[in-house]
C-alpha cells in the first residue's frame, strides 16, 4: 500500500511538472491583445509575447497579413504585422505549439489617454451623464482600461479591464475626457477608434516619468528622498492599526449623521516605496508595459498635483513626452489639457499662484516641443470643484487638435488663441496671437476683460484692450505710461475673461515682459547703504531651494568676499503691495555668529539651527505699528530649516504658545521642512521681519511687523502672494 501511494505521489508529481512545463511552453500574449481590440491602421503594428526559447511563432490576420519569428533565448518574441486602411471585424491568430485566436478585431485609430483624476473621472460623473450614457451606442469605439497598479521597476505586462465595445453598459465607468475625445474622432473620421485609458487620480507627473530621465533632477531627488526616509521608518503593523482606528472613527461619524468634527479619512496603508506618487512607479506599471503597442498618439490631463511647482512642470512635461516617445520609438503627437479656472473668483488685475504658473508651463511646452498641442479650458472650470463636470468640451478641444494636426481636417477652429509676440511702444502693448484657425473675437457684449499692464513701479493695473485685425490686441492704460509687462487671465480663477476666436475657443492665459527690479534699500536708508556691505540679496517673493531642498538660491552672494570679524549683522526687508505702497524694516544687531554662512537664510546646508537672543538691536521701519529705536536687549532670532511649533521652549519673555509664539519649539526633523527665519522684538510684543517656508516662492510666508493671522509671526499665511515686489538683504558692518 505504501509503495502504491509513493508511485501515486510520484506520478502526480510528474503530472504537475508536465502541466507546469506545458503552461510555460504555451505561446502567451500581453493583456493588451484580446478579443474586441483595435489595431492601429496603416502601421507595422508590433505583436509580441512569450514562448519557449527557439519556439517558432506565426501571427496571421484575416485581412491578409502574416509574419513569423522564433522566441529568443529568454522566451521573448515579436513580429510586426502590416495593418490595412481601416475596418473589421477581423480575426488574428497567434500560432506556436498552441494557437490563440483574437476575434472581433478592428483596425482604426488608437490613442493612449493618461493623467490624474480629471482624466480618470468617469462618464457617469460628467455633465448630463444619464443622457450621455444612454446615447453611447458606438460599437466601433473600443475601450480598454489599465487597472491601478504600481511597480518599482519597469514591467512587461499589466492588469487591464479588457477591450470592450462602447455601449451604455460599458461607457459609464470609462474616462469621460477620453470617451468624448474618441467620440469626436469617430464622428469626424468614420473609422474604428481604440482608447487605452491609463490614469490615476491624485498623482504627480514624476510618477509617470521613467527614473532614468529624471534621476539627476534635484526636485525629483528631493521627492524620492522623502519617500526613502518614510520607507526606513515604515512599520506595517502600526500603519494597519492606524488605518483600522481611522476607519472605525469614520464609520461612527457617518452613522452619526456626519455631525461634529470630521475625523481623518481612512486610507489603506501603502509601503512608501510602492506609493502611487513615488517617482516612476506608475510609468513602470501602467505605461512601460503598453509599449510598443502601435498607437497614433497620446492625450494627457494632469497638473493639479504639481501646481505648487509650476515652473518646474515645463521641464518635467517635456521630459515625460520625450521619454514616452523614446519608449515607443516614434515622435507621436501628444496633446494635453491646460488646467481650467478653479478656486475663489479673482477680480483684481493679477493673482500670483500655482495654477497660472502651471498653465504657463503648458503653453510654453505647446509652443516649444514639436508635435504637441494644448486644449485651453480657462472658461469651463468650476470655482469650488477641482473636477469640473464639463468633460464634453475637454474632449472636443483635444479632438480638434488631432483632427487638424494629424488628420489634416480644415475649415474649423482647432485651438484657442495663444500668445505669439508682444511689442511695447508709445505707451501701449501690441499683442499678437496664433489664433487657432479663426480671427480674434469677444465672447458676449462689452469690452475685453482680463488684461493688465505693469509699469516702472511694478504694480499691475487693469487695462483696456481692443482687437485690431484678425490676430492683434492693443492693451493700454492711462495709469501706465511706460508699460513693461502685460498679463492676460493671470489668476487661479480669473473673472470675466472673454477673449476668444470666432470659433468660440478661449484664449490662453499668458504674461510677457519683465517687472522692473525692486531696490529701495539705498533710497530709504542712504547712510546704511554707504557703510554696510551686502552679503546676500534675493527677492523673497520668488524664493526657492535647490540641491534637494538643502541650499537657498540667492540673486547675489558675496559671502566669499566678506572677511570677518564684523561689528554688526543686519537684515533689510521691503515689500510693495499691489497698490504700490512700500513698507520696510531694518534691524541691525551685535553679531550672534562670526560665520558668514550662518547669517543667511537657514537652509539645511548652512547648519544654522538656533534660537538666540540678540543684543544692541537698532530697528528702523516705516511699517505701521512697528516699534523703532534702540534695544540693548529685547530681541531674538529664530533660524531653522525645519518645521517648528508653539510652546515657548526658549522661555522668551512676553511670549506664549498661542499668539506671541516667539520662543517656538524647533521640530525634530533632520531634513528640510517648513523653514523659519524670524526676528522678534519680544519687549514690544511684536515681530519685525519674518520669512518662513522659504522654498515655496509665491506661496511662502513673508511679513513686516505683526501678522493679523492666528499668530503674530506670519506662519501659514502664504502672504507672499499679497505683494507685487520684494527686496531682502543680509548685511554686515565690517
For the beta carbon of residue 264, count every other beta carbon within 10 angstroms.
11
Together in a domain, 473 and 574: no
**Residue 475 placed within a domain:** yes
Query: What are phi and psi for residue 99, nearest 5 degrees?
Result: -125, 130
What pLDDT sits at residue 25? 66
Who contacts 113 (Cβ-Cβ below 8 Å, separation ≥6)? 119, 175, 177, 178, 181, 195, 196, 197, 198, 199, 298, 299
Of 656, 643, 707, 647, the closest CA to residue 682 belongs to 656
Residue-level pLDDT at 18: 34
Kindly report, residue by residue over 642-674, the tens digit of the pLDDT. 888 888 888 888 888 888 888 888 887 776 678
At which residue does the C-alpha cell 482624466 appear? 119
pLDDT at 564: 79
> Do 371 and 333 contact (CB within 8 A), yes or no?
yes
The C-alpha cell 474586441 sits at 36
| Same-domain status, 631 and 502 | no
Residues 525 and 485 occupy one common structural domain:
no
Are 475 and 525 contained in the same domain?
no
pLDDT at 20: 37
Residues of the chain with pLDDT under 50: 1-23
Cell digits for 91?
480575426
Q: Report the distance separating Cα 678 and Cα 662, nearest Å.
A: 9
Residue 451 is part of which domain span? 418-513
Rg (CA), the chain: 31
Pair 509, 561 in one domain = no
Instruction: Please give the grid coordinates belonging to residue 380.
Output: 469651463
Give the pLDDT score at 446.
86
- Say yes or no: 436 and 550 in one domain: no
Backbone angles phi, psi at 120, to 5 degrees: -70, -25
Domain termination residue (choose one: 495, 513, 531): 513
CA 560 to chain centre: 37
Interhelix angle 310-328/354-368, nearest 10 degrees: 40
Sequence-distant (6+) residues with CB within 8 A of 623 are: 583, 584, 585, 704, 705
Cell of 687: 515681530
Residue 627 shares a structural domain with residue 589: yes
Listed residues 513, 530, 553: the one ending a domain: 513
- 3-state class (DSSP) for residue 340: coil
What pLDDT score does 390 carry? Answer: 98
444 and 481, same domain (yes or no): yes
- Contact indicator for 704, 689 with CB cutoff of 8 Å: yes
Tell whether 472 and 534 lie within a shared domain. Answer: no
Considering the domain boundaries, does residue 528 fall inside one?
yes
State which H helix or E strand residue 688 sits in: strand 686-692
Look at residues 513, 547, 564 and tell me which one is the last residue of a structural domain: 513
pLDDT score, position 671: 66
- Contact at 8 Å (CB) between 336 and 375? yes
Q: What is the DSSP letter of 306?
A: G
Q: What are the residues facing 570 on neighbouring strands?
A: 588, 731
Parallel/antiparallel/unpaired status of strands 676-681 and 686-692: antiparallel
Bond from prior residue into 188 cis (ω within 30 degrees of 0): no
Total tally of structural domains belonging to the chain: 2
Phi, psi of 260 (to 5 degrees): 80, -170
| Tens digit of each residue's pLDDT (9 = 90 or more) over 121-144 | 999 999 999 999 999 999 999 999
- What angle do the packed helices 392-405 and 176-189 form, to 10 degrees? 40
449 with 496: CB under 8 angstroms? yes
Do 556 and 640 reside in the same domain of the chain? yes
> Within this chain, do residues 539 and 460 fall inside the same structural domain, yes or no?
no
| Residue the block writes with cell 457684449 | 445
Q: For residue 242, is it within any domain?
A: no
Residue 312, domain member (yes or no): no
Cell of 11: 506520478
Give the predicted TM-score (pTM) of the model: 0.86
The domain spanning residue 458 has which CATH number?
2.60.40
If phi over 0 gives left and psi between -120 and 50 gives alpha, with beta otherwise, what is residue 126? beta
CB atoms within 10 A of CB 77: 25
Backbone angles phi, psi at 703, to 5 degrees: -170, 160
How far is Cα of residue 709 from the mean position of the Cα atoms in its chain? 29
Residue 727 resides in a domain: yes
Question: For the chain, what's the residue count?
Answer: 734
Count Cβ atoms within 10 A of the Cβ of residue 387 and give its class: 0-12 exposed, 13-18 middle, 19 or more buried: middle
Q: Where are the beta strands (DSSP E) in 436-517?
A: 440-442, 451-454, 460-462, 464-468, 472-476, 485-488, 499-501, 510-513
Q: How far apart are the first and last CA of the chain?
A: 101
- Which residues have C-beta within 8 Å of that of residue 615, sequence separation ≥ 6? 589, 590, 632, 633
536 and 496 in a common domain: no
User: Per the structure block, which three cell numbers stand in for 378?
Assistant: 480657462
Residue 568 in domain = yes
Q: Is residue 171 part of a domain?
A: no
**Alpha-carbon distance 424 to 651, whole Å?**
57
Report yes or no on 125 lying in a domain: no
3-state SS of 106-170 is: EEEEEEEEEECHHHHCEHHHCCCHHHHHHCCCEEEEEEEEECCCCCCCCCCCCCEEEEEEECCCC
Amino acid at each position: 500500500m505504501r509503495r502504491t501511494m509513493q508511485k501515486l505521489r510520484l506520478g502526480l508529481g510528474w503530472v504537475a511538472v508536465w502541466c507546469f512545463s506545458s503552461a510555460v511552453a504555451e505561446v502567451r500574449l500581453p493583456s493588451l491583445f484580446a478579443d474586441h481590440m483595435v489595431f492601429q491602421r496603416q502601421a507595422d503594428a508590433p505583436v509580441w509575447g512569450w514562448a519557449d526559447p527557439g519556439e517558432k511563432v506565426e501571427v496571421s490576420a484575416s485581412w491578409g497579413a502574416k509574419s513569423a519569428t522564433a522566441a529568443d533565448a529568454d522566451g521573448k518574441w515579436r513580429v510586426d504585422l502590416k495593418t490595412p486602411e481601416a475596418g473589421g471585424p477581423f480575426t488574428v491568430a497567434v500560432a506556436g505549439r498552441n494557437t490563440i485566436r483574437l476575434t472581433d478585431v478592428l483596425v482604426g485609430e488608437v490613442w493612449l489617454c493618461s493623467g490624474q483624476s480629471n482624466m480618470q473621472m468617469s462618464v457617469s460623473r460628467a455633465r448630463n451623464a444619464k443622457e450621455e450614457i444612454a446615447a453611447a451606442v458606438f460599437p466601433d469605439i473600443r475601450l480598454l482600461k489599465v487597472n491601478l497598479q504600481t511597480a518599482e521597476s519597469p514591467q512587461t505586462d499589466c492588469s487591464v479591464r479588457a477591450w470592450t465595445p462602447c455601449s451604455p453598459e460599458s461607457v459609464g465607468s470609462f474616462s469621460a475626457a477620453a470617451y468624448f475625445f474618441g467620440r469626436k474622432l469617430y464622428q469626424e473620421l468614420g473609422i474604428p477608434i481604440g482608447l487605452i485609458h491609463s490614469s490615476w487620480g491624485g498623482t504627480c507627473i514624476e510618477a509617470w516619468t521613467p527614473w532614468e530621465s529624471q534621476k539627476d533632477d534635484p526636485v525629483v531627488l528631493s521627492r524620492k528622498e522623502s519617500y526613502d526616509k518614510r520607507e526606513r521608518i515604515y512599520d506595517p503593523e502600526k500603519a494597519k492599526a492606524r488605518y483600522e482606528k481611522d476607519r472605525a472613527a469614520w464609520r461612527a461619524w457617518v452613522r452619526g449623521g456626519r455631525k461634529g468634527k470630521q475625523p481623518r479619512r481612512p486610507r489603506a496603508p501603502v509601503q512608501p516605496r510602492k506609493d502611487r506618487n513615488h517617482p516612476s512607479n506608475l510609468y513602470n506599471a501602467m505605461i512601460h508595459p503598453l509599449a510598443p503597442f502601435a498607437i497614433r498618439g497620446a492625450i494627457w490631463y494632469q497638473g493639479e498635483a504639481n501646481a505648487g511647482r509650476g515652473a518646474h512642470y515645463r521641464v518635467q512635461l517635456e521630459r515625460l513626452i520625450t521619454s514616452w516617445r523614446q519608449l515607443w520609438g516614434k515622435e507621436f503627437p501628444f496633446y494635453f489639457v491646460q488646467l481650467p479656472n478653479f478656486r475663489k473668483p479673482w477680480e483684481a488685475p493679477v493673482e500670483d499662484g500655482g495654477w497660472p504658473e502651471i498653465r504657463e508651463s503648458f503653453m510654453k511646452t505647446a509652443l516649444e516641443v514639436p508635435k504637441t498641442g494644448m486644449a485651453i479650458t480657462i472658461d469651463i472650470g468650476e470655482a469650488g470643484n477641482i473636477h469640473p463636470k464639463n468633460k464634453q468640451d475637454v474632449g472636443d478641444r483635444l479632438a480638434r487638435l488631432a483632427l487638424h494636426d494629424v488628420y489634416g481636417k480644415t475649415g474649423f477652429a482647432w485651438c484657442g488663441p495663444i500668445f505669439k509676440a508682444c511689442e511695447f511702444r508709445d505707451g501701449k502693448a501690441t499683442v499678437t496671437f496664433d489664433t487657432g484657425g479663426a480671427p480674434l473675437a469677444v465672447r458676449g457684449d462689452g469690452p475685453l476683460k482680463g488684461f493688465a499692464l505693469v509699469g516702472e513701479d511694478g504694480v499691475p493695473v487693469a487695462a483696456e484692450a481692443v482687437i485690431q485685425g484678425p490676430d492683434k490686441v492693443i492693451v493700454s492704460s492711462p495709469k501706465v505710461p511706460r508699460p513693461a509687462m502685460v498679463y492676460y487671465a493671470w489668476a487661479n480663477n480669473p473673472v470675466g475673461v472673454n477673449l476668444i476666436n470666432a470659433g468660440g475657443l478661449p484664449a490662453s492665459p499668458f504674461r510677457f515682459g519683465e517687472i522692473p527690479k525692486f531696490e529701495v534699500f539705498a533710497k530709504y536708508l542712504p547712510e546704511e547703504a554707504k557703510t554696510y556691505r551686502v552679503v546676500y540679496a534675493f527677492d523673497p517673493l520668488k524664493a526657492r531651494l535647490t540641491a534637494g531642498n538643502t541650499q537657498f538660491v540667492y540673486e547675489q552672494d558675496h559671502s566669499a568676499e566678506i572677511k570677518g570679524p564684523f561689528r554688526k549683522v543686519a537684515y533689510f526687508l521691503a515689500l510693495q503691495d499691489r497698490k504700490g505702497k512700500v513698507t520696510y524694516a531694518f534691524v541691525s544687531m551685535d553679531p550672534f555668529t562670526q560665520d558668514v554662512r550662518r547669517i543667511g537664510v537657514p537652509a539645511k546646508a548652512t547648519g544654522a539651527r538656533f534660537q538666540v537672543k540678540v543684543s544692541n538691536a537698532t530697528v528702523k521701519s516705516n511699517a505701521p505699528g512697528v516699534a523703532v529705536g534702540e534695544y540693548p536687549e529685547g530681541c531674538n532670532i529664530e533660524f531653522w530649516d525645519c518645521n517648528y511649533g508653539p510652546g515657548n521652549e526658549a522661555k522668551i519673555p512676553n511670549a506664549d504658545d498661542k499668539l506671541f509664539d516667539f520662543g517656538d519649539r524647533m521640530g525634530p526633523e533632520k531634513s528640510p521642512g517648513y523653514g523659519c527665519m524670524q526676528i522678534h522684538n519680544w519687549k514690544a510684543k511684536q515681530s519685525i521681519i519674518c520669512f518662513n517656508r522659504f522654498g515655496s516662492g509665491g506661496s511662502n510666508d513673508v511679513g513686516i511687523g505683526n501678522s493679523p493671522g492666528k499668530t503674530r509671526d506670519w506662519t501659514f499665511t502664504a502672504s507672499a502672494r499679497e505683494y507685487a515686489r520684494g527686496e531682502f538683504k543680509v548685511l554686515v558692518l565690517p
